[in-house]
Amino acid sequence: MTASYSSPSRPPFALLRASALLGLLLLGACGGESATQTPQQSQVPQGAAPQDSAAPAPPTVTGPVVVYSSRQEYLIKPLFDRFTQETGIEVQTQTGEEGPLIARIQAEGEGTFADVFYTVDVGNLWIAADKGLLRPTQSDLLERDIPEHLRDPQGRWFGLSVRARTIAYSTERVQPEELSTYEALADPQWKGRLCLRTSRKVYNMSLVATMIDRIGEAEAERVVRGWVDNLATRVFSSDNLLVQAIAAGQCDVGIVNSYYLGQEQQRDPNIPVALFWANQDSSGVHVNISGAGITTQAKNPEGAKRLIEWLSTEEPQRMFSELNLEFPANPAIESVPLVQSWGDFKPDLINVEVAGRLQADAVRLMDRADYR
Amino acid sequence: MPARPAPVGSGALQLPGGWRVLGIAAALLVALPILMLLSQWATLGNGEQAIWQHLYDTKLDRLAGNTVVLLLGVGVMVTVLGTSLAWLVSVCDFPGRRIFDWALMLPLAIPGYVMAFVFLGLISYSGPLQTWGRNTFGMDFWFPDLQGALGVILVMGLVLYPYVYMLARSAFNAQGRNLLDAARMLGLSPFGAFWQVALPVARPALIGGGALALMETLADFGAVAVFNYDTFTTAIYSAWYGLFNLAVAAQLSTLLLGFVGLTLALEHYSRKHARFTLDERSRESQRFRLRGARAWGATGYCLLVILFGFGIPTVQLVLWTAQTWRGEMDSRYPEFLLHTVELAAIAALAAVAIALLLALIRRMPPGRWRWLEQLSVRLATLGYALPGSVLAVGIILAFTTLDQGLHGIIGQRQVLVGSVFALILAYLTRFMAVAFAPLDAAFERIKPSLCDAARSLGASPGRVLRRLYLPLLRPGFLTALIIVFVDVMKEMPATLIMRPFGWDTLAVRIYQMTSEGQWERAALPALTLILVGLIPVLLLVRQSARRQGQTAD
């Protein structure tokens, strides 16, 4: 059919009639659903993914591991390629938004292709576990490599990299001494000087969820209302834009994930924005994870476990730091120099699981406070 | 020949009953995901009610208000831009008209989410325009607030006006000048002739194009998310991603559909079977020649629209691509391109074939199953107002049920979910309205008397269809094929969730970059998508030029 677009010499109507006929044929096939299936699916093995999607992997370690991931391909593919090189186990990925991916695993039920669900933010992992989509896994290696507060108490998911959501400030207009905690950004001192990203981003949901756990719902709501009162401009749709806005002078402080500042620093090493580690005298910086779990209906749980275990070891942990400027979840591994340049900090050691449990409460709270 | 209302029912198509069954079956297949979403109303427990209550208490009114503002703004903008531009290029003559005639369709190739991030990158506080302004005029430099409703309306209006433009243009071209001359002879001013004669006759086309643009606006989550402008779709995502309740998300999205269905039905009713049929005729020599300031005004206006709708975003993407292409270009690029084109081509052909069936059964003599035909056609063309990811969930729900049945029969799991077929069905449901509108409009323009005449001369129904309808429908066919093709290429959310393993497309690639805020890195796939999208748009242009050439001799 594509040929009809590139052969101008033939009269278009003949082509049209042909394509209409073809269309009718396709349509005719629609009645017997599987008929249209086979020819298209048979193309799949010739493509990049060698495995026919209609035939799930046999439950052996040698079969491929299928990963449903909301992490972007350019961040994870280098890792998986390395894994395949080392172990000979192939990895297939299906990337997408986390909500639809969870819905898909759930709808697919016992027939799902997914062996591993890999996503960012504990809120997403928590909901997948809560819906019974992830199975408990016992692994001495993971329990040794991944600190306790970065994994599910029941072993359904494991943090693999860590990001800190903290305060970014203008080095031109703010002295670090003026800063202390997330809560203090609600003080009138910051009126018209604060930038925030949209409350719809799960990172902010998790931040507020841990705050609810820490200081209670009423106090958390007071803080969020204070933030909203202090906003210099509309909330942003991305952390990158927010950092750029601080640099350009639209606002003086904001709350961002550490690696976004890193991205902007890579682009412009002299960008007049720095990170301040929040809540160092109290709870510690809010940290979140990217993490993975093995699906309840995994066809290749052995391969899945090997993949997750491998991801907690030295080389991939270092790669996390290089690829996305995150902190390794394994405390034995050092970050890249740029990440180290931000200095050491005290993280909030509360189990990140709370962010998932209280996420819906956080969303409702932010809605009430008119944080958009 | 001037406009002439014709009684409905005359010229009804006499086709074998099998067509009717086939048509209804196809319509129901396309409507299947919508029916699955409707079934979610069965889940209305305490949890769902609490979420409804919460949404109602906190933001539903604001979101509905925002949505209305957006719809009004985009509606006015696409109608004014589309109609005025179409009028200028089809009725007047001025410098550059021949180029503008096709160039004004170019923004169709630009996905709304791409336009949004390019636009926002340019106008944000830290963007080049405002930075330049502050450096030149100092910190107090005033810049209009384009990051709220106004900005979103501008962005969506610019990418969506071609829908109105294309349909209005062919309507005005079809009217020719005879109609206007008659109006002028009866004493109307040029503007009066436009307002009182040309516009009402073109109304079905204008409404059709406007409805497409507004349904796309309702379904959009990409552009509004870039601007962080909360609309009704925000509530859908908030219920789903934030509060983890898919049932409420599905219920909210069916409300969108109800709203659209109601509006379309009202419009249909207000037209009250009025029907205009015209001779397809257009004469290059008969255009009003604009002179002096008016001519340059027309040229400047067209130029401005193309500049903002196509020139500036493309240049920005080229600049970004120049910075990033080395890192971005990899061996899989041809594959992304191939998948994009393959999916778009299959979906376009299937959509047009089914749209033809739907248009046919609508025109068959009324029978016992009339209501079912009407209802299924209605349902099948509602999907355009459905956010892609919600629609995808409808399909996944439907197909997992079917898959479980199939598992018992053929012993294979997950045959349908994750197949190309499922993805194509998603496209069909999403874009059936786009295929149906131009085809249906083409049918409308065929004089019923022609069909009656052919029948009275002894032609069989099949022969009438082959020899009379298909040739007359040709332009509508091509328009439908090409718009669906371009729309499928640009489609992101449903592709993202439903694509089979390894079927990454250009739109998927764009998503992967933009979701991490890496707009510059999204420039290469975006630019590729636009360039590939241009090919069918230019084909459309060529075909309409050929048509004019044919009728002019």
- Of the two residues A1 and B262, the one the predictor is more confident about is B262
Q: Is A245 in CB contact (< 8 Å) with chain B?
A: yes
Least confidently predicted of A326-335, B284-293, B527-536: B284-293
- Of the two residues B47 and B14, the one the predictor is more confident about is B47
Q: How far apart are CA B100 and CA B379, in angstroms?
A: 37
Residue A238 is nearest to which of B148, B400, B517, comparing CB atoms? B517
pLDDT surpassing 90 at residue B366: no
pLDDT score for B273: 55
pLDDT score for B187: 82
- Of the two residues B47 and A165, the one the predictor is more confident about is A165
**Structure-token match 């359904």, residue found:** A156
For the record, the structure tokens of B78 come out as 């696409």
pLDDT score for A194: 97
Residue B279: pLDDT band by 50, 70, 90 thresholds? low
Q: How far apart are CA A66 and CA A116, in angstroms?
A: 6
Residues of A in contact with B497 (CB under 8 A): 96-97, 100-101, 104
Local structure of residue A346 (DSSP, 8 states):
P
Residues of A in contact with B502 (CB under 8 A): 44, 47-49, 92
- Of the two residues B14 and B349, the one the predictor is more confident about is B349
pLDDT surpassing 60 at residue B1: no
Task: Choose among A341, A227, A186: nearest CA to A274.
Answer: A341
Angle at B57 between CA B54 and CA B58, to 5 degrees: 85
Which pLDDT tens digit goes with each residue over B312-361? 999 999 999 998 888 777 778 888 999 999 999 999 999 999 999 998 88
Residues of A in contact with B354 (CB under 8 A): 23, 27
Residue B237: pLDDT band by 50, 70, 90 thresholds? confident
Which pLDDT tens digit goes with each residue over B294-310? 999 999 999 999 999 99
- Of the two residues A57 and A106, the one the predictor is more confident about is A106
Beta-strand runs (E) in B436-537: none
- Of the two residues B276 and B126, the one the predictor is more confident about is B126
CA distance A281 to chain B (A): 31
For the record, the structure tokens of B252 come out as 């909210």
Three-state SS across B240-294? Answer: HHHCCCHHHHHHHHHHHHHHHHHHHHHHHHHHCCCCCCCCCCCCHHHCEECCHHH
- Across residues B171-178, what is the average pLDDT? 75
Q: Would you tell me how many other CB atoms lie within 10 Å of the CB of residue B171?
A: 26
pLDDT surpassing 50 at residue A293: yes
Contacts of residue B428, defined as CB under 8 A and 6 or more positions apart, other chains included, come to: B29, B30, B347, B350, B351, B354
- Of the two residues B111 and B275, the one the predictor is more confident about is B111
pLDDT score for A62: 64
Task: Find residues 115-144 of chain B whose CB sits inside 8 Å of chain A.
Answer: 120, 124-126, 130-131, 134, 139
Residue A53: pLDDT band by 50, 70, 90 thresholds? very low
Residue A44: pLDDT band by 50, 70, 90 thresholds? very low
Residues of B in contact with A231 (CB under 8 A): none
Q: How far apart are CA A194 and CA B228, in angstroms?
A: 17
pLDDT score for B307: 95
Residue A42: pLDDT band by 50, 70, 90 thresholds? very low
Give me the residues paired with residue A287 across strands. Answer: A164
**Alpha carbon distances (Å) from A260 to A263, A267, A304, A365, B113:** 5, 11, 30, 26, 21
Contact between residue B26 and residue A27 where contact means Cβ atoms under 8 Å apart: yes
Task: Find residues 309-348 of chain B whose CB sits inside 8 Å of chain A.
Answer: 332, 335, 341-342, 345-346
- Per-residue b or e along B495-520, where b marks 16 or more CB atoms closer than 10 Å to that residue's CB: bbbbbbbbbbbbbbbbbbbbbbbbbb
pLDDT score for A49: 40
Which pLDDT tens digit goes with each residue over B495-507? 988 888 888 899 9
Q: Is A266 in CB contact (< 8 Å) with chain B?
A: no
Contact between residue B76 and residue B153 where contact means Cβ atoms under 8 Å apart: no
For the record, the structure tokens of A275 come out as 């990170």
Task: Choose among B229, B522, B517: nearest CA to A256.
Answer: B517
Q: Exposure of A294 by Cβ count < 10 A (0-12 exposed, 13-18 middle, 19+ buried)?
A: buried
For residue A257, what is the enclosing H or E element? strand A253-257
Query: Alpha helix (H) ranges present in B40-59?
Result: 46-58
pLDDT surpassing 70 at residue B45: yes
Residue A27 is nearest to which of B335, B353, B516, comparing CB atoms? B353
Instruction: Tell me the whole-structure pTM to 2 decimals.
Output: 0.83
Task: Choose among B266, B428, B228: nearest CA to B343.
Answer: B428
Q: What is the mean pLDDT of chain B?
A: 84
For the record, the structure tokens of A146 come out as 């991944």
Which of the given ranges, A124-138, B182-196, B203-217, B508-522, has the highest pLDDT on average? A124-138
Q: Would you tell me how many other CB atoms lie within 10 Å of the CB of residue A153?
A: 10
pLDDT surpassing 70 at residue A29: no
- Across residues B4-14, what is the average pLDDT? 48
CA distance A104 to chain B (A): 7
pLDDT score for A228: 97
pLDDT surpassing 80 at residue A22: no
B295 φ, ψ (degrees, to nearest 5): -60, -45
DSSP A103-158: HHHHHHGGG---SEEEEESHHHHHHHHHTT-B-----HHHHHHS-GGGB-TTSS-E
Q: How far apart are CA B63 and CA B179, in angstroms?
A: 44
CB contact under 8 Å between B54 and A367, yes or no, is: yes
For the record, the structure tokens of A81 come out as 């390629």
pLDDT score for B459: 80
C-alpha dihedral (A350, A352, A356, A358), degrees to nearest 10: 20
CA distance B193 to chain A (A): 35
Residues of chain A with pLDDT > 70, as a percent, come to: 83
Q: How far apart are CA B232 and CA B312, in angstroms?
A: 30
Three-state SS across B337-394? Answer: HHHHHHHHHHHHHHHHHHHHHHHHHHCCCCCCCHHHHHHHHHHHCCHHHCCHHHHHHH
- Across residues B67-84, what is the average pLDDT? 95
Residues of B in contact with A49 (CB under 8 A): 501-502
pLDDT surpassing 80 at residue B214: yes
Give me the residues paired with residue A236 across strands. Answer: A197
pLDDT score for A28: 34
CB contact under 8 Å between B242 and A107, yes or no, is: no
Residues of chain B with pLDDT > 90, as a percent, come to: 31
SS3 B520: helix
**Alpha carbon distances (Å) from A371 to A160, B73, B239:** 30, 25, 16
Asked casually if ipTM beats, i.e. exceeds, 0.85, the reply is: no
Residues of A in contact with B478 (CB under 8 A): 12, 16
Contact between residue B373 and residue B361 where contact means Cβ atoms under 8 Å apart: yes
- Across residues B274-292, what is the average pLDDT? 64
Contact between residue A108 and residue A349 where contact means Cβ atoms under 8 Å apart: no
Q: Going by DSSP bridges, is the β-strand pair A286-294/A116-120 parallel, antiparallel, or unpaired? A: antiparallel
pLDDT score for A40: 32
For residue B158, what is the enclosing H or E element? helix B149-175
Chain B residue nearest residue A367, CA to CA: B58
Contact between residue A233 and residue B145 where contact means Cβ atoms under 8 Å apart: no
Residue B276: pLDDT band by 50, 70, 90 thresholds? low
Give me the residues paired with residue A275 across strands. Answer: A168
Task: Choose among A249, A196, A243, A253: nearest CA to B130.
Answer: A249
Residues of A in contact with B125 (CB under 8 A): 233, 245, 248-250
Contacts of residue B47, defined as CB under 8 A and 6 or more positions apart, other chains included, come to: B245
Local structure of residue A231 (DSSP, 8 states):
B
Residue B145: pLDDT band by 50, 70, 90 thresholds? confident
- Of the two residues B470 and A255, the one the predictor is more confident about is A255
For the record, the structure tokens of B367 come out as 């029978």
Least confidently predicted of A352-356, B39-43, B261-265: B261-265
Contact between residue B77 and residue B308 where contact means Cβ atoms under 8 Å apart: no
Interface probe for B, chosen from A364, A365, A368, A371 (most Cβ of B below 10 Å), is: A364
pLDDT score for B398: 84
SS3 A293: strand
Residue B271: pLDDT band by 50, 70, 90 thresholds? low
Residue B74: pLDDT band by 50, 70, 90 thresholds? very high
For the record, the structure tokens of B542 come out as 């060529």
SS3 A91: strand
CB contact under 8 Å between B345 and A2, yes or no, is: yes
- Across residues A279-296, what is the average pLDDT? 95
- Across residues A341-358, what is the average pLDDT? 92
Least confidently predicted of A298-307, B109-118, B282-291, B421-430: B282-291
Task: Find residues 390-429 of chain B whose CB sits inside 8 Å of chain A.
Answer: 392-393, 396-397, 400, 402-404, 406-407, 410, 412-421, 424
Q: What is the mean pLDDT of chain A?
A: 85
- Of the two residues A31 and B271, the one the predictor is more confident about is B271
pLDDT score for B272: 59
B513 φ, ψ (degrees, to nearest 5): -80, -45
Q: Going by DSSP bridges, is the β-strand pair A158-170/A273-276 parallel, antiparallel, or unpaired? A: antiparallel
pLDDT score for A296: 97
Give me the amino acid identity at B465: L
pLDDT surpassing 70 at residue A54: no
Least confidently predicted of A30-39, A269-278, B174-183: A30-39
- Per-residue b or e along B135-162, where b marks 16 or more CB atoms closer than 10 Å to that residue's CB: eeeeeeeeeeebbebebbbbbbbbbbbb
pLDDT score for B449: 79
Which of the given ranges, A95-109, A206-220, B233-247, B282-296, has the highest pLDDT on average? A206-220
DSSP A52-84: -TTSPPPSSTTSPEEEEESS-HHHHHHHHHHHH
Residue A351: pLDDT band by 50, 70, 90 thresholds? confident
